[in-house]
Structure 1
């Protein structure tokens, strides 16, 4: 029972971080209809930006977080303006290939500046552990779940209660109608990329504290794709449910089966959900008549 509780906590914390990264993926897809294969590398860049701010620049962790978030937002806007905006009107496969190329550029840039050696950052999440029913639960994992949940709730309120959030939802539903209402679609696109980068960076910062900083974080980011396919490409609540399911499934598989199968399970789920329910658990079914 203690092992089950411990695996559940670890699975929930990983799932919460996956939900953050997946939220950025969904934001971009809803606003621009672009499938961003570089989302996992935004998470990697965020972790290294936090590392550079706190270790290289010697900033306090609170200032390092602000630097990481500001860097992510700037990077997202620059990518949208100079990489994706010129691709408007091009074939979908061309845009997809651009995001794949972008992921290689981001990964290569990180290796160029920081190398391939794993790095450790000073921990800012609470240390120590909580013992419950014989299970040892690190406070850092509990705090990561709480932070991720707070960020997800904040973004949910942003989408439903703020002017910019409502504008993003309007553009996602109908760009032409949004234009007639005076909404700048280009600004919404830039905002979507900026927020997507910020959510990934927050996930990267949490991972940097929990497991250190290395190029392997990009591999963790790849699990974002099974999460969004399971939850639904255009569903924000789906990212939360998908993240929790995939996080728990990976942890239970690692604990009870092992053998590296936990690395394959998310993609088995991806294939199965595409076969059974291509739009995901919460995705909107779209039927186009011609």
Structure 2
């Protein structure tokens, strides 16, 4: 007899994980929409944020002060990256910008190693992983907390970019950079704001993933979880990042539980990429991405 209660439990677990995937993916979308750069350094920024925070706490810094200090550092890092690395490369080919962020990821990881060392850290944020029992469905407390935080961040960014002056400028630049320049928008200021937002996203995502996986250098590989989310939802859509994250989270868990046994397990690590590859063949722009139309 099919266990529908277990199905709900697996599905909810996947959706809660998917919210965290969405948060990482949004860091990519913010940069890509305004500048066309696929920021491969997002994972290194995530690692740097988590490692900075946990190192400050271990050195006796109060939790709240360590959080504020790390936030300030990540804002400064985002602005520095935009001004020192990407602004001089404006109008360069996309592959040049991508290679710049790829090299930048190694620089940031190296700086983290020099500053804080290479040891693995455990990160406690005061939330236990004891599951709730809701009608026989067990849901992780930490997953609920992480999903609530990530969901709140997503909602705040959505409101910010829709209803604030800076958000409207961001949307204008994302739609048409030349038109935005024509009406007097300052692109460097918009780009600096977006990189600041990317730094904040990296901090929140770094703390959540660091609490789940431990703060170690492999944490930067979390960005690989965001790639199928971006392919599925679209590289230039915040809505797509949210929906794509939920779908990928659900697909991973369901595939591991119900399809994995036929392949000997381990399918969770690559099932999302199979789905992303299949979608690329039929809709390269993703479910919510804008289709590129070129006139010749």
Which TM-score tier does this pair reach, normalised by the shorter chain? over 0.9
The question of 1:4 aligning with 2:7 is answered yes
2:26 alignment counterpart: 23
Which residue matches 1:216? Answer: 218
Instruction: Please give the residue correspondences for 1:117-196 in structure 2 after superposition, counting only pairs within 5 Å.
Output: 117-125=119-127, 128-196=130-198
Aligned to 1:253: 255
Provide Cα deviations, 1:190-241, integer angstroms capped at 9, x if missing partner. 1111111211221111122233212222222211111111101111100000
Q: Residue 77 of structure 1 corresponds to which residue in structure 2?
A: 79
Q: Which residue of 2 aligns with 1:265?
A: 271
For the aligned residue pairs, the C-alpha RMSD in angstroms reads 1.9
> How far off its partner does 1:187 sit?
0.8
C-alpha contact (below 8 Å) 2:125/2:211 kept by paired residues? yes
1:50–1:68 Cα contact (<8 Å) kept: yes
Q: What is the TM-score with the length of structure 2 in the denominator?
A: 0.90
Query: What is the TM-score of this pair, normalised by structure 1?
Result: 0.92
Match of 2:286 in 1: 280
Distance in 1 (alpha carbons) for counterparts of 2:117 and 2:257? 32
The 2-side partners of 1:116 and 1:272 are apart by 38
* Cα distance in structure 1, aligned partners of 2:117 and 2:253: 29
Residue 14 of structure 1 is matched in structure 2 by 17
Aligned partners of 2:51 and 2:112 also within 8 Å: yes
Equivalent pairs counted in the alignment come to 289
Residues 117-151 of structure 1 show CA distances to partners (whole Å, capped at 9, x for unaligned) of: 32102232356431123343222211111111111
Distance 1:7 1:117 in 2: 33
Tell me if structure 2 keeps the 8 A contact 1:167–1:188. yes
Q: Which runs of 5+ in 1 are unaligned?
A: none
